Amino acid sequence: MTRFAKPNAWEKFFWPLLTAGLLLATWNYSVKWSGTQVFPSPLSVEKGMAELLRHHVLWADIADSLRRVAFGFGTAALLGVPFGLALGWYPAVHQVFNPLIQLLRPISPIAWIPVAIVLFGIGDHAATFLIFLGAFFPIVVACASGVSGVPVIYRRAARNFGLRPAQILTRVVFPAALPQILMGLRLAFGIAWLVVVAAEMIAVDSGLGFLIIDSRNSGKRYDLVVGAMLMIGLIGLALDTAFRRLEKIRSVQWGFRDEY
Amino acid sequence: MAAEAIISASSRNAKLRMRNVSMAFERDGKSIPVLENINLEISDGEFICLVGPSGCGKSTLLNVMGGFISPTRGVVAIDGETVRGPDPRRILVFQDHGVFPWLTVEGNIEFGLSGLSRAERKERVAHYVQMVRLQGFQHTYPRDLSGGMNQRLQVARALAMNPDVLYLDEPFGALDAITRLMMRQELLRIWQAERRTVIFVTHDVDEAVQLADRIVVLSSRPAKIQDVHSVDIPHPRNISSSRYLEHRDHLLTKIGLAYSA
């Protein structure tokens, strides 16, 4: 495979599957040869997951995690996109809010856990709030920088064509910033999926994060711990792939690198 | 020759009039003069080229005419009405990256036409797609077009607004030599068909002599009008004729003076 050659169709699947297979084999033989009693082999993880599926617990946990992410991320997007647009568009808004955002942004959502519990008690609301926090700031920052990065030439053309300021925002600035906004949303979605696991370990008693901590605490079921981890990875990959589909929409494709 | 030009210019109405226009930028608390006392009258339907050394303020002058920048002193008036800002009756075409990449060819051309009915819009788009020879590309996005096609699209988008003045800021400057040559022919063809007032900024003397009715030579910064030169050769102009070369040499001498001034 040379650097510039277009890979064959079979290669697209063959190489990743080979790496995954090698990793599984390494894992399997490491467990076998080290004789560990605690760490599970791939096969016992598979058995553990099958057991969970038979008892219909896994689907409920997945659904709970997804629901929390949907609410937390949805709220963050709903509030963060307009706020970010305003931040990038109106210098006054930027002046008032930007220092505060820059101060709050580096605080990990994990650090907010005690505050979230004080504010919302143990339960869904606290978890959703943490996901919201994790997603909100990246969305705001991406939207603001997307808007302020819109080339002056587009705004000038818009003014020349007689657009009013509100129209310039909706018909020129927003579509011009959309690729960056989408990138911000995708990044924030990834963070939301990271945060949900942490939030579920502390604030609630369902979801994939809870499954991990519960499996460890009640009976050291490491087969379920590793199984849930793999599940989180798989769902994260699926969601990210779905998000990437958005980049293929023709009216935003110009803002993304060509992929061959 | 000069007398003829004066008569032909004054027999038509003055479309655009600049009186004592000066412009200075503020930078680090200092005032940098860019335009100095520009007086110019442009007739309706005239093709004017602004030439001058690079960085002399040609684009600034065009932006002042277009209402994008307010002059520090003096007045720009179109049809007797003072220019106070950009106006959809006068459209500026940028050197490049002027088209909207999130819209198709069709979407770009109809961008400024939201006031028209659907049928009128469709008709207007079809007309200008044809005029700039982009048939078959109506649903193509700018990034899938060549540089020359994108500039044609920008011209079409401007013309679709039915402007009475077209400002072109080195519109072919980013294109290769052959495309540039073809684009000039296209622009002349369109100008002859539509007869708008065209004000065209270029640093290319050949381009100016091939296109313009009159050429305004600007000095280096701060820009003053060095010379206004009429090119009385009918189109299509033979670029190897002695008359063409005379005009060209005259301008080169003038611009040479402009450089040393």
User: Which domains are present in chain A?
Assistant: 44-253 (1.10.3720.10)
Q: pLDDT at position A259, please?
A: 52
Rank A11-25, A47-61, B233-247 by mean pLDDT and report only the highest: A11-25
How does pLDDT run across B175-220, given as a tens digit for each residue?
888 888 888 888 888 888 888 899 999 988 888 888 888 999 988 8
Last residue of a domain, one of B162, B189, B211: B162
Q: Closest Cα of chain B to A255: distance in Å?
A: 9
pLDDT value of position A168 = 92
Residues of chain B contacting residue A151, judged by C-beta atoms under 8 Å apart: 97
Reported as a pLDDT band with limits 50, 70 and 90, residue B9 is very low
The stretch B226-249 carries a mean pLDDT of 85
pLDDT tens sequence across A98-129: 999 999 999 999 999 999 999 998 889 999 99
- Nearest CB neighbour to A252, from listed B88, B97, B102: B102
- As a whole number, the mean pLDDT across chain A is 90
Distance from C-alpha of A130 to C-alpha of A202, rounded to nearest angstrom: 11
Question: B222 preceded by cis ω (within 30°)?
Answer: yes
In this structure, what token pair is assigned to residue B90? 């006068």
The arrangement of strands across the sheet holding B14-27 comes to B30-43, B14-27, B73-78, B81-82
Which of B144, B162, B180 finishes a domain?
B162
Mean pLDDT across the stretch B228-244? 84
pLDDT at residue A92 greater than cutoff 90: yes
CB contact under 8 A, A172 and B141: no
Task: Kindly determine whether residue A254 and residue B161, on different chains, have CB atoms separated by under 8 Å.
Answer: no
Instruction: Give the chain A residue whose CA is nearest to the CA of B94.
Output: A153
User: Tell me, what's the pLDDT at A128?
Assistant: 94
Q: Are A178 and A246 in contact (CB under 8 A)?
A: no
What is d(CA B173, CA A111) in angstroms, rounded to the nearest whole number?
55
Q: What is the pLDDT of residues B161-171, one digit of tens each?
A: 889 999 999 98
A172 in contact with B, Cβ within 8 Å: yes
Please tell me whether residues B109 and B145 are part of one structural domain. Answer: yes
Q: Tell me, what's the pLDDT at B8? A: 43
Burial of B26 (0-12, 13-18, 19+ CB in 10 A): exposed
Instruction: Give the model's pLDDT for residue B2.
Output: 46
Q: Determine how many CB atoms are found less than 10 A away from the CB of residue A140.
A: 27
Matching residue, tokens 């603001």 = A144
Structural domain tally of chain B? 2
Mean pLDDT of B123-143: 90
Mean pLDDT for the stretch of residues A59-68: 92
CA–CA separation, B152 and B146 (whole Å)? 10
Residues B175 and B249 in one domain: yes
Mean confidence (pLDDT) of chain B:
86
Q: Stretch A239-250: mean pLDDT, rounded?
A: 88
Query: Average pLDDT for residues B145-170, to the nearest whole number?
Result: 90
Each residue's pLDDT tens digit, A179-209: 999 999 999 999 999 999 999 998 888 899 9
Q: Token pair for residue A237?
A: 């990959």
Find the domain containing B150 and state its range: 93-162
**Which residue among B162, B188, B218 closes a domain?**
B162
Same domain for B183 and B78: yes
Confidence band for B10, pLDDT divided at 50, 70 and 90: very low
The reply to whether B227 and B209 lie within a common domain is yes
Place of tokens 């009385």: B232
The Cα A224–Cα A211 span in angstroms is 8
| Closest CB to A160 among B92, B97, B142 | B92
Any chain A CB within 8 A of the CB of B101? yes
Query: Are B81 and B201 in the same domain?
Result: yes
Q: How many residues does chain B have?
A: 261
pLDDT for the residue numbered B13? 65
Q: What stretches of B28-184 adopt beta strand conformation (E)?
A: 30-43, 47-51, 73-78, 81-82, 90-93, 165-169
Residues B84 and B171 in one domain: yes
Strands B81-82 and B30-43: unpaired
Q: pLDDT tens across B62-81, in order?
A: 999 999 999 999 999 998 88
**Tokens representing residue B100 in the block:** 């909207």
**B53 in contact with A at a CB cutoff of 8 Å?**
no
A160 touches chain B (CB under 8 A): yes
The pLDDT of residue A2 is above 70: no
Q: Is B153 in the same domain as B192?
A: no
pLDDT at A3 over 50: yes
Q: Are residues B106 and B83 part of one domain?
A: no
Whether A168 and chain B come into contact, CB under 8 Å, resolves to no
DSSP, res B239 = T
Reported confidence tier of residue B4, pLDDT bands at 50, 70, 90:
very low
Are A254 and B103 inside 8 Å of each other by CB?
no
A123-132 pLDDT, tens digit each? 899 999 999 9
List chain B residues with CB under 8 Å of A161. Answer: 88, 91, 111-112, 161
The DSSP symbol for B231 reads -
Average pLDDT of the residues in B218-236 = 85
Mean pLDDT of A218-234: 89
Calculate ∠ Cα A40-A224-A39, nearest 5°.
Answer: 20
Lowest-pLDDT choice from A90-94, B17-21, B51-55: B51-55
Task: Judge whether B97 is closer than 8 Å to chain A, CB to CB.
Answer: yes
Give one DSSP letter per residue of A127-189, joined into a string: HHHHHHHHHHHHHHHHHHHHHHTS-HHHHHHHHHTT--HHHHIIIIIHHHHHHHHHHHHHHHH
Which chain B residues touch A254 with a CB distance below 8 Å?
101-102, 141-143
**CATH at B18:** 3.40.50.300
Residue B226: its H or E element:
strand B225-230
Q: What's the burial of A91, exposed, middle or buried (CB within 10 Å: 0-12/13-18/19+)?
A: exposed
B74 with B171, same domain? yes
Q: Are residues B72 and B190 in the same domain?
A: yes
Among partner residues B85, B94, B161, which is closest to A161 by beta-carbon distance? Answer: B161
- Are B186 and B240 in a shared domain? yes
pLDDT of amino acid B258: 53
- Nearest Cα residue to B211 out of B184, B186, B232: B184
Nearest to A178 among B87, B91, B102 (CB): B102
**pLDDT for res B3:** 43
What are the CA-CA distances from residue B154 to residues B89, B103, B110, B128, B207 (Å)?
A: 15, 12, 11, 11, 19
Confidence class for position B1, pLDDT limits 50, 70, 90:
very low
B51 backbone dihedrals φ, ψ, rounded to 5°: -120, 160
By C-alpha distance, the chain A residue nearest B66 is A160
Q: How far is B133 from chain A (nearest CA, A)?
A: 23
Do B203 and B77 lie in one domain? The reply is yes
C-alpha dihedral sign at A192, A193, A194, A197: positive
pLDDT at B233 over 50: yes
Q: How many CB atoms lie within 10 A of CB B166?
A: 24
